[in-house]
Amino acid sequence: MSVGLKELRTEQKKVNLCSGPVKIKGYLNIDINPASDLVLDLDYQNIPLADESVDVVACISAINYFTRDRAQEIIREVFRVLKPGGIARFGTQDLRRLAEMYIHEDRDFFFQKLSDGRDRFPGATLADKLNNFFYGFPTFGKACKYVYDFASLRVLFDKAGFVEIEQKQYRESRIPEVDLLDNRPEQMFFLEAVKPDGLERLRSLYNQDDREAATALWKTGRREEAWQLLLEALDKHPFDKETVFSVLLVLQEMKRYDDAVKLLQAYTKGRPDDREMATELAQFSRQAAASRLSKTYVAERKAELDKLDERKNRIASDEEHLSGCITWLRRAQMVTNNGGVSAIYHMVRPVWDVSYPETTGYIIPTFLTYSRLTGDATFRQNAIEMGDWEIAIQSPEGGAGEPVGVFGLRPRVFNTAQVLLGWMALWRETEDDKYLRSARKAADWIVASQEEDGRWVRNTYSGDMKAYKSRVAWPLLEMYALTGEERYRRSAEKALRWILDQAQPNGWFGNSSLSDPGKPWTHLIGYTLGALLEIYRLRNADVDYNLIMALLRSAASAMTSYMAQKSPGDQEQFPGLPGAFNHQWQSDDRWSCVTGNAQLEYFLRRLSAFTEDEGYGEAADRLLDDLKGIQFLDGVEDRNIFGGLPGSVPVGGPYVAYGIPNWGVKFFADSLLQRIVGKDHACYLG
């Protein structure tokens, strides 16, 4: 039964446009055919749906029935009714394929018979049949008017404002029910496009270049989006003075004088004769110097903070220590006023740092798990605010962006993968498609940044591949589990082959350090091993899982052995594990990386659950008690410190000296959550 325009059901989110006699369940089937859900003559009528009300519009074997001008109008209509991030899929007869078959006199194609014995293409000769193909196939008084190849149809979608315009194979699509939509692959090509979201959409609305659009956005208070556009403009035009001045104005407002100096040094190096910019550099250099603390103050403040090492914490319940972690993390979010979580509390100055996209991303699952544990929806809302901020700063190309005022750190593969974990967790929690759209865009950017041999060297901090990018492969495999998109699995598999080649039989991985190549911090070891264990849990890739488990057990045994042999004096000096390990799992360090301890506690406890090896669990218990003794709980009056953990023990150690990094607190919270809720409920943690 057809429906009139007034009876159109607003809950319909998918449209089968020009559906013909085929009605697809779950779609609003629109056609001139009286049997369709909505009878419409697209030659004269527009789509009677509200703006941004539809998730998917499919139009198969129909756009060729309209003039090219009308086809452009129809595609603009499709753009109008789609939600941001919505998908359009069009299939139509392929001019290139028809021409090739005509030139090669493909009689099998042109002389096909229908099931009732009639010719599929009327006419006595190939030319007759080709012309009938172009201008024939009358239906309800209409006939073909224009035949496209992909390039010519792409132009119409590009003019309408679509992005990610791609030619797809038969039944290759982001649309789950594509097998119900596609037909006749021997004569058709398929195009899929996305209505832009975020910064891409803003640029199309303003119809301006990045800098002009950024200026307009800044005036309306949309500072995060404006900043990403400014950074992109600076990437494209590093010596455009108007762009540089626009960035400098922001850095001046944020009092980020050192970043302004870096920007001007890069500019004047390329333009040494620019006296105006040389003057600006001198002025910002003076401001940067004036903002630095005196050496006397720094020395006195560090001596005062060193007394924190003398504290003795009681070992309280898991719940009390967890509450302390969440209290500190929530404060780290509140002080930023943007939804992100401050990277570090610097105890010497003292000052909170700017929001950190990478770690904010993986703090999201921690807050969602805590919200479910306590039944307090406040923490769920905090997580949503984090995820929405990440969307606001997502770079136009898909990578994780940067907070307002942070200059010089363009999107990085590793950081983006950590934000991916947060968006996936939010999509599972809320089923709000905006999180999945951003996650997909980010994952696609990660895949596009990869080399053929599986390495990530572009869009990285060091310009080379590291073994700890197993923590990039893991989120990609989670995306594969969520979406079924094979490209994510293939990308992860390529990376894992390279990563596993870096492993020694004892479970130590080369190429996993950011400082001394032979001694990676336990923080980076924790990244590598923890992600490999999650990959083992998923078991949805073509890799050697027996090898992975053997390496994980070897590494775990080496660490538990170290802890068992540790002298009482060393334990007094640095609880837990040493800051770094060499290739023989040995260390002469007399300090501990607290973040690494928390990560490896989580890893050992999780491995114990998978292997039923109680020794790993006992080692995890010892590490957890060490962490409890380090946390700033008892005798702490400074609310900016309460609930946090130092980067190192002693507090002035090499890793985040005299600072509280948010990621260390997050990983300690994850360790506590895992012990409370169990491994099966620890989703995207660790």
Return the CATH number at 36. 3.40.50.150
256: domain CATH number?
1.25.40.10
Looking at 196, 230, 248, which one is the last position of a domain? Answer: 196
Shared domain for 186 and 268, answered yes or no, is: no
Q: Does residue 190 belong to any structural domain of this protein? A: yes
CB distance 593 to 519 below 8 Å: no
Return the bridge partners of 346, or none: 351, 659
Distance of CA 350 to the CA centre of its chain: 32
In angstroms, how far is CA 172 from the centroid of its own chain?
23
Instruction: Kindly state whether residues 35 and 120 are assigned to the same domain.
Output: yes
pLDDT at 635: 83
Q: What is the pLDDT of residue 132?
A: 72
| Residue at 212 is within a domain | yes
CB 632 within 8 A of CB 643: yes
pLDDT tens for residues 18-64?
998 889 999 999 999 999 999 999 988 999 999 989 999 999 999 99
User: Shortest CA distance to 563 belongs to which of 615, 611, 603?
Assistant: 615
For residue 508, give the 3-state DSSP assignment. coil
Q: Is 429 helix (H, G, I), strand (E, B) or coil?
A: helix
The answer to whether the CB of 190 falls within 8 A of the CB of 168 is yes
- Residue 185 and residue 304 in one domain: no
- Give the pLDDT band of residue 205 (cuts 50, 70, 90): very low
Residue ending a domain, choose from 161, 196, 231: 196
Across 33-43, b (16+ Cβ under 10 Å) vs e yields: beebbbbbebe
> CA 276: distance to chain centroid?
40
| CA nearest neighbour of 406 among 231, 280, 267 | 231
| Structure letter (DSSP) for residue 405 | T
Quick check: is 203 in a domain?
no
Is the domain of 98 the same as that of 241? no
- Domain stops at, among 293, 311, 327: 293
- Dmax (CA) of the chain: 98
Residues 255 and 335 in one domain: no
* Together in a domain, 493 and 424: yes
Residue 518 lies in a domain: yes
Do 359 and 418 touch, CB atoms closer than 8 A? yes
Decide: 326 and 379 in contact? Cβ < 8 Å: yes
- Please give the residue range of the domain that contains residue 368: 298-347+356-681
pLDDT digits (tens, 9 = 90+) for 176-199: 889 999 988 888 999 999 988 755
- Partnered with residue 31 across adjacent β-strands are 39
Instruction: Measure the CA–CA gap between 358 and 349, rounded to whole angstroms.
Output: 24
Q: Give me the amino acid identity at 620.
A: A
**434 plus 578 within the same structural domain:** yes
Task: Name 355's bridge partners.
Answer: 342
Residues 6+ apart with CB under 8 A from 626: 575, 576, 597
- Tell me: cis bond preceding 350? Omega within 30 of 0 counts: yes
CATH number at residue 639: 1.50.10.10
Q: Is the pLDDT of residue 382 over 90?
A: yes
Q: Which residues lie closer than 8 Å to 263 by C-beta, 6 or more apart?
A: 244, 247, 248, 251, 407, 408
474/458 same-domain check: yes
Task: Answer yes or no: do 282 and 325 share one domain.
Answer: no
Region for 406 from its dihedrals, namely left if φ exceeds 0, alpha if ψ lies in -120 to 50, beta otherwise:
beta
**pLDDT at residue 207, rounded to an integer:** 42
Q: Which residues have C-beta within 8 Å of that of residue 115, sequence separation ≥ 6?
A: none
- Does residue 228 lie within any of the structural domains? yes
Residues 269 and 328 in one domain: no
Tell me whether residue 397 is in a domain: yes
Position 551 in a domain? yes
Domains contained in the chain, number: 3
- Identify whether the C-beta of residue 644 lies closer than 8 Å to the C-beta of residue 665: yes
Q: Is residue 120 scored above 50 in pLDDT?
A: yes
Q: Which of 397, 401, 375, 391 is nearest to 339 (CA)?
A: 391
pLDDT in tens, 594-637: 999 999 999 999 999 999 999 999 999 999 999 999 999 988 88
Mean pLDDT, range 299-318, rounded to an integer = 92
Omega before 517 within 30 of 0, i.e. cis: no
Confidence of residue 468 (pLDDT cuts 50, 70, 90): very high
Is residue 202 a part of any domain in this protein? no
Cα pseudo-dihedral 485, 486, 490, 493, rounded to 10: 80
Q: What pLDDT, on a 0 to 100 scale, did the predictor assign at position 371?
A: 98
In this structure, the answer to whether residues 399 and 250 fall within a common structural domain is: no
Return the pLDDT at 97.
Answer: 87
Residue 489: what pLDDT? 97
* pLDDT of 209: 63
pLDDT at 174: 87
Q: For the whole model, what pTM was predicted?
A: 0.74
Q: What is the pLDDT at residue 127?
A: 84
* Confidence at residue 224, expressed as pLDDT on a 0 to 100 scale: 82
Shared domain for 31 and 79, answered yes or no, is yes
